[in-house]
Structure 1
């Protein structure tokens, strides 16, 4: 671009000073003139106005002039057509740009959402060579826009796939592009996408057949035999976006879960579901990513807020636990909304199973609502733990399956919900492994807690945190949390706290209130039979969730099937318990301790049937129940032991088993003592060679505690 120099006004010089002309003495008139040398016109001028002084050209002044420094004597200023800065040297039209802009000259790169409408003549565009023909080279500006560089503009034929810079010479009537190859060594790429208003997922159904743009977080990438399906979450819900590269080939390989993306595509119906056919997808970074992510997180936090409920019973302990219970419910709801798989881990006994089923019943409808009818199979799993803690066997399985699902289905790592497990030091090794793989965990438990576990948990519910004890069981706690997650399931899970209370022999006002709550539907005997049937089924199910069988035991389906199954399981279980007790009761050794407690000791390794129901823990509990009846009203402790373990059951004895375990570990060198449980019910492990010393010291500690 050019314009007259504003400094010299196009004269090319600047007047610095002036003085009177020495020739004409300032008159501007010449003193003498040779008429013979004048033209006819000059003679006429001379006769009318006189002769001008040749020295000062009739001005009477002599001016001192300097070449204009601004335009360098050109009289014209050239400026950069990009930034407007002055240009010192101009060679041709191509050079009407300053060196600074030349180094960062803009080349536009159009994404696949752009059409011919975004093309402007004269601008520079990035393109990729598609094919070479006799009359030129075809290039792709994006997947929809193709143009031709005529052979007359090409010195060296490029290779297919090469990246080039072109300018648009002409857009013909048929939307064909004539392009010029531009050899630019340094430039700045500016990505361009079609200008479209951002649309929320909740509005997609109103735009079928239209091209739209959405922003959100990728929560799953699933490769099918055809397209790649991206599940994208924005603040209003989820979007299924199908991108096709070729059959079975992963589209947009650089896009993965947890990324914030901008997606442009056409809204289409697939059956009754809306799907976005992707035209373009790109990852958002920097400030824009932060804004979108913050917006999504805020919306998800709002949607994940637990329901405000009144507890089924009145309990000061439950009220004090409400914030922790709401936090667990919030984390579970958030995981569901974000399509994060949920792995429900529970102790394999009546309390643990009722706790898990309560949560399961609450979350499955929500998982299906978010992820479709088959969402349960991809985003949920329930698994029992044989031990009363999260074993290394458990976490190894869980991590392995989670990694396989992440690789196969593009899923996130799961949220592990541990119920009737997870509060003790025995859980720490597994928690540390889970943390390596960024697996989030929440715990609802009533075993005596150790504060060290909290650093690994996003939320932790335990009655001991607020002055309660084990008599408020996991089944009770989980039923209330389930109602916070999804209040619609209240009727079908109303009886689960009562089954849990009976199964765990809970003796508290809360337990009695939960039992009373369902007394119009189930007698105390009904509840005991359900609890026994659960324990019996858990033994034979091993590591299987046994979903259908467990549901029938808990009267979640056909009532006649429930009654028939419970009767059968109780008949078999009671028969095996009686057979076991008949074999072992005569081998129980009884002694009275210094504090007045009656200690009953049984070697379950040598004097009870192995590898059958009831297992050692259940056997010790049944022996304890019979001895409590025999010594009714007295303090009773039953100790069932094997080569490297001991199971403790007590009544009317104020023990603290977790504390005893720590003391035994410190006091008996080389014993390898570990374990825990509730304050008055638990188990201990030790090395086999130290059994005598450990059991003797344990009996001594039991004999020193207070009795009721």
Structure 2
């Protein structure tokens, strides 16, 4: 029994529970389960990802500080890999993942004390303690520079100086090649050091070289590594990622069966094999290990393959990818006639997406911020996650290789593309990642997106579009595949297309997707989709709850994918959460609808009735529901009262939106307004279902011209 270092309260350790958050802890354990949630720990920045920062809490434990936990934007964080930082452990999950929180205190002197958190017992920090020496002292027989804790992999690299015969014998025994030995490298060129921690290897005799050659390892594959932990293996593959940690360099290697991380150590924080880059074809020898549950290779030698050896690897990869990437068939969900007619486009898109997974390329899914956009994007994400887990050996691969980012509206514009390009170039330069495949869903099918696609094309990032709207010809020319109907079909949603695409990408999740097409309709889904949802156990109320809940959550934290929350709403068969959030949706929407009805005006010409709502004056513009969803609901609630053609017109300070009983191409409406008010600077954004933008000073004239034009267009 001791006393708290702050208040002298008797405690079993060094600090009482009340003052735990006033102390910084130095972790000396070897497993994440030994961490104590709520405590603040000193750690080291390991690296960045789109979604946050990885921080090493100890030699064998790494946690994720998610961007949502930061008190500033991730891009403005000035931490660099290797920096000492302080974070709070929020949770340790069953799979060993560690969730971290932000600490406003970023120095030991800002805490009221420091304690060494050792599984064998807590102790107060003394001068003998350091992050680099968990035992509190250096090995008396080994120079301090000779042993370095590898904070990324949990491996300890022991520097040794070997001589002649000993080195040769060791090489022959393990079957690994020595650096710089042409005979061992074959047609390839060995670069850098052996990275087995050896500082120097002297020339071997001819006999030892021949012995090493005789012991050359047979090639294995990534999918066979789980049964070879502890063995020395050889892998031939393509480098798909390179990142430098505070310890080793991590090479991501892809062969025809999957992807594995290979840790190569030169010295702490120093780039191993500096001449090896993305897309190089290499042969790696090393020991199969598990690091925090993930398979990993501790690299002993790395050889860049050239000429015939290089081509043989590439040919093997291409044959495997081509065979596996193309789905055997595309079987549309629910039998919608328009979706049935998109089989070729769906096959091409599914092949492109599956190929990106197999090539270890990140996939970025961008979608509109509507319920249809969220459900369609989540369907594709749901198909991708298990595929990525299957192809990668690291537990956090699903956070690295698929990102879903909502858009504001239905245009993928230069602002969006500039952000994506900046992120992907940062990921390439900082973490050695490949350029991504960008999939734009329920958006990006109009000419306004072509500049953005051309920017992506300048860097070689592939592009796909999936949308229920007819794509402009200019878009089809700037993307690999546009999965869009040839003619307008008001009975089609983007989710109806995306669910079939997701099932083609991953047939194993097909059963999970059956209810999604019906869920995406606000009114009267096709009977085939209703039947499909019913077979999956979802009645009309269950579908409405989920759609409404997604629509509500889409409005909040609009820049955030809300991956887990959206998945719970869509795929949890219980439905309790969806029902709860759905009730909030109905309450908020009805309140706003009542306000809107009291403030509409009725205009029109001839038999056409136009209900006009000043959305700038009579809506809570930044609260739920968003203007588009409110106008949809207002139009549905008011149209049945009209005798004849009916339109709902929402007029903001410089934007006009319209809903009509019979289809009106907003581009035609924009042309009519521009003719009537030529000085209003009228433009149409978003195509046939888009919005009309204009100069604020001409608002009244634009509104009058819109009412007159609707009278002509709806007659």
TM range (shorter): 0.5 to 0.7
1:529-568 map, 5 Å: 529-554=545-570, 556=572, 558-568=574-584
Alpha-carbon separation, structure 1, partners of 2:430 and 2:214: 32
**What do you get for the CA RMSD once the two structures are aligned?**
3.6
Residues 109-148 of structure 1 mapped to structure 2, 5 A cutoff: 113-114=176-177, 145-147=201-203
1:329 alignment counterpart: 350
1:483 Cα deviation (Å)? Answer: 0.8
Q: Structure 1's 396 and 271: CA in aligned 2 closer, same or farther, altered over 3 A?
A: closer
Summarize deviations over 1:327-375 as a string: whole Å, max 9, x none. Answer: 1111111111222112111111111111111112111111122223211
Unaligned runs of 5+ in 1: 1-109, 121-125, 131-141, 148-167, 177-191
Equivalent in the alignment of 2:697 = 689
Question: For residue 704 of structure 1, what is the aligned residue in structure 2?
Answer: 712
Tell me how far apart the structure 1 counterparts of residues 640 and 313 of structure 2 sit (CA, whole Å): 65
Shift in Å, 1:677:
4.4
Contact 2:545 2:578 (C-alpha < 8 Å) held by counterparts: no
Counterpart CA distance in 1 for 2:251 and 2:540 is 51
1:469-520 deviation per Cα after TM superposition (whole angstroms, max 9, x unaligned) = 2431111111111111112223332211112122xx4x6xx73321233246
Report deviation, 1:194. Answer: 8.7
**Which residue is equivalent to 2:324?**
303
Contact 2:259–2:360, Cα closer than 8 Å, also in 1: no
Is the aligned partner of 1:230 residue 2:251?
yes
Aligned to 2:624: 613
- For residues 619 and 278 of structure 2, the distance between their equivalents in structure 1, rounded to whole angstroms, comes to 53
Contact 2:362/2:402 (8 A) holds in 1: yes
- 2:527 — aligned with what? 512
Q: Residues of 1 paired with 2:571 and 2:215: CA distance?
A: 57
Paired position in structure 2 for 1:370: 391
Residues 172 and 451 of structure 1: CA distance in aligned 2, closer, same or farther (over 3 Å): closer
Instruction: Give a deviation string over 1:196-248, Cα, whole Å, max 9, x none.
Output: 55444345567666655432111111323322221211223223322111122
SS of the residue aligned with 1:643? coil
Structure 2: gaps (5+ residues): 1-170, 184-188
Quick one: structure 1 residues 671 and 257, their matched pair in 2 at CA, closer, same or farther if it must change by over 3 Å? farther
The alpha-carbon distance between structure 1 residues 636 and 309, as it changes in their structure 2 partners (threshold 3 A), is same
CA distance, structure 1, for counterparts of residue 358 and residue 588 of structure 2: 43
Q: Give 1:428 shift.
A: 2.0
Deviations 1:160-214 (A, max 9, x none): xxxxxxxx9xx599x79xxxxxxxxxxxxxxx99965544434556766665543
Larger Rg belongs to = 1
Taking the aligned partners of 2:645 and 2:306, their CA distance within structure 1 comes to 67
Greater mean alpha carbon deviation, residues 202-211 or residues 362-371: 202-211
**Deviation at residue 390 of structure 1 after TM alignment:** 1.4
The answer to whether structure 1 residue 643 and structure 2 residue 664 are counterparts is: no
- Deviations 1:440-459 (Å, cap 9, x if unpaired)? 22111112321111232122
Q: TM-score, normalised by structure 2?
A: 0.66
Cα distance change on mapping 1:219 and 1:116 into 2, 3 Å: closer
| Displacement of 1:410 | 1.9
Question: Secondary structure in 2 aligned to 1:348?
Answer: coil
Contact 1:351 1:500 in 2 (8 A): yes
For residues 393-425 of structure 1, the C-alpha deviation after alignment (integer angstroms, 9 at most, x for no partner) is 333332333233333332112221111111011
- Name the residue aligned to 1:597: 608
Q: 1:228 to 1:597 in 2, by over 3 A?
A: same
Q: Which residue of 2 aligns with 1:487?
A: 507
> With structure 1 as the length reference, what TM-score do the two structures score?
0.67
1:628 and 2:639 correspond: yes
Alignment of 1:661-700 (within 5 A): 661=670, 671-677=680-686, 679=688, 681-700=689-708
1:427 partnered with 2:442? no
Question: Following TM superposition, by how much is the alpha carbon of 1:561 offset from its aligned partner in structure 2, in angstroms?
Answer: 2.8
| Equivalent pair of 2:327/2:350 in contact (CA under 8 Å) | yes
Alignment of 1:26-425 (within 5 A): 113-114=176-177, 145-147=201-203, 171=205, 197-204=218-225, 212-267=233-288, 274-286=295-307, 288-371=309-392, 372-425=394-447
Deviation of 1:668 after TM superposition, in Å, equals 6.2
* Counterparts of 1:301 and 1:342, CA distance in 2: 18
Measured in 2, the distance between the counterparts of 1:213 and 1:549 equals: 42
Aligned equivalents of 1:324 and 1:525: distance in 2? 33
Contact 1:448 1:678 in 2 (8 A): no
Helix, strand or coil: the match of 1:592? coil
Deviation at 1:605, TM superposition (A): 1.5
172 and 688 in structure 1: CA distance in 2 versus 1, 3 angstrom threshold: closer
Q: Which residue matches 2:92? A: none
Distance apart, 1:254 and its partner CA: 1.4
State the Cα deviation string for residues 293-315 of structure 1 (Å, max 9, x = none): 23312211222122525323223
Moved more, 293-302 or 396-405: 396-405
Alignment correspondent of 2:665: 656
Q: 1:381 to 1:297 in 2, by over 3 A?
A: same
- Aligned partner of 1:123 in structure 2 is none
Q: 1:489 to 1:578 in 2, by over 3 A?
A: farther
- What is the CA-CA distance between 1:664 and the residue it aligns to? 5.8
Q: CA deviation at 1:622?
A: 2.7
Do the aligned partners of residues 127 and 452 (structure 1) sit closer, same or farther apart at CA in structure 2, a change above 3 Å counting?
closer
- The SS at the match of 2:556 is helix
Distance 1:531 1:271 in 2: 38
* 1:476/1:501 contact within 8 Å kept: no
Distance in structure 1 (CA, Å) of the matches to 2:619 and 2:221 = 65
The Cα shift of 1:284 comes to 3.4
